Amino acid sequence: MNWLDQVAWDAQGLVPVIAQEQGTGDILMFAWMNREALAKTAELGRAVYWSRSRGKLWAKGEESGHVQQVHEIRIDCDNDVVLLKVTQLGHEPGIACHTGRHSCFYSVLKDGRWQPVDPVLKDPASIYK
């Protein structure tokens, strides 16, 4: 059986993906992949996702230069979530979030509201032209 056939794709043909920084263990982002995106990620050693909003493949860093080098691809026990162990390239420290932050998980629930706690490392206006 092909390894891609073992993935439990949802009704839209997608699987959720978590990108985790290999060096620190930080969770950088959550995204989606379709079969082609996962196959390309494995082939290229670079993260390629499926953009639901754009309806197309999205190579991480294609606009920002913040590429994710993939070291390992894992799947959970139910075969319905993929974990990528990555090195975030393109800026030091690595920027994974379109807001210019290291991680997309930069807000913490405090006193009944979401509060950003991680700094913007680079102005998004200078990243996306």
Give residue-wise pLDDT tens across range 54-100. Answer: 999 999 988 888 899 999 999 999 999 999 999 998 777 788 888 98
**Average pLDDT of 6-20?**
97
Query: Which residues of 1-129 form beta strands (DSSP E)?
Result: 14-21, 27-34, 48-51, 56-59, 68-75, 82-88, 107-110, 113-116
What kind of architecture, by CATH, is found in domain 3-122? Roll (3.10)
Q: How confident is the model at residue 1 (pLDDT cuts 50, 70, 90)?
A: confident
The pLDDT assigned to 62 comes to: 83
Q: Residue 33 carries which side chain, given as an amino acid letter?
A: M
Contact yes or no for 16/30 (Cβ under 8 A): yes
Give residue-wise pLDDT tens across range 91-127. Answer: 777 888 889 898 989 999 999 999 999 999 988 888 8
Contact yes or no for 47/28 (Cβ under 8 A): no
The two three-digit tokens of residue 98, written as one number: 């379109």
Long-range (24+ apart) CB contacts under 8 A made by 104-111 are: 104/28, 104/29, 104/30, 105/27, 105/29
Residue 39's closest CA among 101, 82, 97? 82
Exposed/middle/buried for residue 103 (C-beta within 10 Å: 0-12, 13-18, 19+): buried
Q: How confident is the model at residue 129 (pLDDT cuts 50, 70, 90)?
A: low
Domain range list for the chain: 3-122
